[in-house]
Homo-oligomer: A and B are copies of this chain.
Amino acid sequence: MQTIHLKEYEIFIGAVGEKLQQFLKQKNYTKIAIILDENTRRHCLPIFTQLLDSTNFAIIEIHSGEQNKNIETCQRIWNQMMEAGLDRHSLTINLGGGVIGDMGGFCAATFKRGMDFIQLPTTLLSQVDASIGGKLGIDFNHLKNSIGVFRNPQAVFIEPRFLKTLPEREVRSGFAEIIKHSLIADAGQWEDLQQIEDLGQVNWEVFLQPSLKIKKKIVAEDPFEKGIRKALNFGHTIGHAIESFALPGKQPLLHGEAIAIGMICEAWLSHEIGGFPIEEVTTIARFILQIYGTCPLNKKDYPYLIELMTKDKKNENERINFTLINPVGKALINQTCDESLIEKSLQFYEKVALDKKQGKDENPKFSEEV
């Protein structure tokens, strides 16, 4: 088992059963509740209960999905916390992906002004992304994570057995953050990633630890996102807007799927604003499209997408704030540009996606054509 030591807590990666037992024994909580959804109840709870002797937990079940990460679900969770008799010396265990981790953590952090919680992330995305940084929250008015707090868990337990329960689409979604970490901070890992051909064959433990260490280093320097932590926002300004936009639809995009699109757009902006080589943009776009396929955008939706970006909590003085890259492995924070250039970056995505669909992606000349 690997351990990553952070300033305020530890992340355990591997067969975490024994560590989890130890933790619960040491802490002696008055009560313990597990927050889960119908998916993790079915697929992960059986694995979880195998890890432990005792099963004396309250179960708080919510409906899965980003569309339920809202204040109404929080009210149901708080209600069930009360009914279960939790107090501020109790523990919440968040057993699920990013939605459970963010919202369960937020509810724990605000219940009776704060109780302890631990994260058992069950998706690749939440294992690589939500384990570090203490960001908790919910969506509000269709704006992602616009209500929340910063607060660290008591510990994070990353159990690789949970990943075997995931549909392929969920794995792809998590992979986007691993791509991002390499693009902003580790050119060597970016080379390694490009060797991956089949996500189903990857031993994720190999990539999880280096990826978590990149995030650890960046967050430690800037816990409250005043400066360099913004490096982690690469792909996220446009990606979040696309994710928010797709949220009310019948088949919402997963976070990583939206961020993958955002990284293509923002790699192109990196070229336009920062002189990032167009060949590198092409390489990134081709790799991402090969894994994620293409997603139709529509020109008539551009203004609404840009409106969503203007409401992004990363902005200052109502200017849309970007993190770009140049070269691979180095992030440029606090970049801004005209809205027309943002629209062009969306057009760039549509162009490469179309070329990909039509099999024309072997020799793209994106920059000239848009």
Contacts and interface: CB of A to CB of B under 8 A. Distances in A.
Nearest to A89: B316
Interface in A46-103: 71, 75, 78-79, 82, 85, 87-89
A327 interface: no
Given A78-B140, A82-B143, A87-B316, A149 B113 contact: yes
A109 B150 CA distance: 10
A358 interface: no
A164 to B, nearest CB: 33
Interface string A114-148: 10000000000000000000011100110101111
A334 interface: no
Contact of A88 (B30, B82, B137, B313): B313
B113 A311 contact: no
A71 B75 contact: yes
A36 to B, nearest CB: 21
B315 A147 contact: no
Given A87-B316, A318-B85, A113 B148 contact: yes
Interface string A300-343: 00000000000101011110000000000000000000000000
Interface in A273-325: 311, 313, 315-318
Contacts of A143: 82
Nearest to A85: B318
